[in-house]
Amino acid sequence: MTEQPTAVLMLSLGGTIAMTGGAGGVVPTLTAEDLIAAVPGAADTGIDVQVQTFCQLPSASLRLDDLTALAALIAERTTTGDVDGVVITQGTDTIEETAYLLDLLHGGDAPIVVTGAMRNPTQAGADGPANVLAAIHTAASPTARGLGALVVFADEIHAARYVRKTHSTSGGTFRSPNAGPLGRVVEGAVRLLAYPPHRLTVPLAAVTRTPRVGLHTVTVGDDGALLAGAENLDGLVVAGFGVGHVPQLLINQLTALAATIPVVLTSRIGAGPVLEATYAFPGSESDLRQRGLIGAGFLDSYKARILLHTLLAAGADHDIIAAGFAAAGGTGEPAHWPWAQHP
Ligand code: GLU
């Protein structure tokens, strides 16, 4: 019996990697077929790469509903066993959010590998083809199975839950400030250097609604005017100063909001946790926790917004949301995650 080649499904969503144009600027035009055709050596990998153009958008215009549909498509193709892994190509602007959403909604072992490019195909040194090839190798690798969603970029492998875009133009923009990369792609092989501690997922079947979750970043002199109307949201993430502080002027508004919708406290710094009980002044992290805000631990503001969105989409109440954030934020027991964990 001849062995089936490893099969990878590559779905393209648009982004710089798929953009072409002239002097006026580039726009997404390339299909998934175009992208794979531009990768030197793709045919020599022995990997059966199946391609599908999912959409052709700048990643700023991706919608959470579409990404949930993408997660459903991935579940369908990976659970029937016809593909061993999935590559997503998209714009880098929102990879840190989309990859985490896909991670949360992916209960299977097949790797989901998200990548893109910082230099478009018309530029010297376009990085798209190299990133696609490294992503294909990772998606096909038995070593990457069970790791959930990953971001592979510039030969580094990052966990979707940790990765951030850290530079607006650098090819090495993706970093995991709290954890570092999980590994690297070397000579086409996945070399893991670290394992993420646990995987926390939300069953796709539980996702029944599309909540609206806001993000408010506090700034010096913030008078709370921009929080007006936030009570109409389903949930709010506050990106506070440092370890989770806000101006004193905001505390009555946040207290009132936290009494009606989940309000999650993060740090606007983007690395390191919010604290729980170090400072005690009005507007401090401990004061805000007593006022009903939920600490996000190590999750940065963008990840926290995706987690809050996903928990609300699955109908979670305040206690489940708090338990979910404690588990995913790394400050509480993973065992208290509301759904079954992966071994
Ligand atoms: N710099 C972005 C990219 O690398 C811009 C476009 C987008 O995110 O779609 O793809």
Ligand 1 pocket mutation, candidates 12, 63, 92, criterion most atoms within 8 A of CB: 92
Work out whether the CA dihedral 14, 16, 20, 22 comes out positive or negative: positive
Query: Are residue 328 and residue 187 in the same domain, yes or no?
Result: no
Are the C-beta atoms of 165 and 173 separated by less than 8 Å?
yes
pLDDT for the residue 2: 54
Query: Are residue 219 and residue 117 in the same domain, yes or no?
Result: no
In the chain, which residues have pLDDT < 70? 1-3, 343
Report which of 110, 131, 195, 162 is spatially closest to residue 328, judged by C-alpha positions. Answer: 162
pLDDT for the residue 66: 96
In a domain, 2, yes or no: no
Query: Are residue 130 and residue 275 in the same domain, yes or no?
Result: no
In a domain, 205, yes or no: no
Q: Give pTM, 2 decimals.
A: 0.97
Work out whether the CA dihedral 125, 129, 131, 134 comes out positive or negative: negative
Q: Among residues 158, 192, 226, which one ends one of the domains?
A: 192
pLDDT for the residue 343: 63
Give, as one character, the DSSP assignment of residue 140: H
Query: Are residue 188 and residue 219 in the same domain, yes or no?
Result: no
In a domain, 252, yes or no: yes
In this structure, what CATH number is given to the domain that contains residue 60?
3.40.50.1170
In a domain, 203, yes or no: no
Query: Are residue 39 and residue 186 in the same domain, yes or no?
Result: yes
In a domain, 204, yes or no: no
Are the C-beta atoms of 9 and 136 separated by less than 8 Å?
no
**Strand pairing report for 183-186 and 156-159:** antiparallel
The length of the chain is 343
Query: Are residue 166 and residue 229 in the same domain, yes or no?
Result: no
Contacts of 130 (CB under 8 A, 6+ apart): 155
CA 121 to centroid of ligand 1, rounded, Å: 12
Helix-strand-coil split of the chain, %, nearest 5: 35, 20, 45
Q: Which atom of ligand 1 is nearest to the CA of 169?
A: 1
The residue type of 182 is: L
Query: Are residue 223 and residue 184 in the same domain, yes or no?
Result: no
Domain that holds residue 26: 7-192
Query: Are residue 157 and residue 78 in the same domain, yes or no?
Result: yes
Query: Are residue 171 and residue 40 in the same domain, yes or no?
Result: yes
Query: Are residue 75 and residue 150 in the same domain, yes or no?
Result: yes
Give whole-number Cα distances, 219 to 2, 21, 113, 250, 263, in Å: 62, 38, 35, 11, 18
pLDDT for the residue 178: 97
Give, as one character, the DSSP assignment of residue 340: P
In the chain, the number of structural domains is 2
pLDDT for the residue 341: 76
183-186: strand order across its sheet: 48-57, 7-14, 85-89, 112-115, 149-153, 156-159, 183-186, 189-192
Q: Across-strand partners of 174?
A: 165
The residue type of 75 is: A
In a domain, 200, yes or no: no
CA 294 to centroid of ligand 1, rounded, Å: 32
How far apart CA 42 and CA 217 sit, in angstroms, is 43
In a domain, 343, yes or no: no
List the catalytic residue out of 16, 89, 94, 173. Answer: 16
Q: Among residues 137, 160, 192, which one ends one of the domains?
A: 192
Ligand 1 pocket mutation, candidates 29, 59, 118, criterion most atoms within 8 A of CB: 59
Query: Are residue 234 and residue 317 in the same domain, yes or no?
Result: yes
Give whole-number Cα distances, 100 to 2, 163, 212, 330, in Å: 37, 9, 17, 15
Q: Across-strand partners of 151?
A: 114, 158
Q: Among residues 161, 192, 223, which one ends one of the domains?
A: 192
How far apart CA 343 and CA 333 sit, in angstroms, is 15
Query: Are residue 78 and residue 222 in the same domain, yes or no?
Result: no
Contacts of 62 (CB under 8 A, 6+ apart): 13, 55, 90, 91, 94, 98
In this structure, what CATH number is given to the domain that contains residue 309?
3.40.50.40
How far apart CA 169 and CA 259 sit, in angstroms, is 41
In a domain, 199, yes or no: no
Task: Identify whether 143 is a catalytic site residue.
Answer: no
How far apart CA 124 and CA 173 sit, in angstroms, is 18
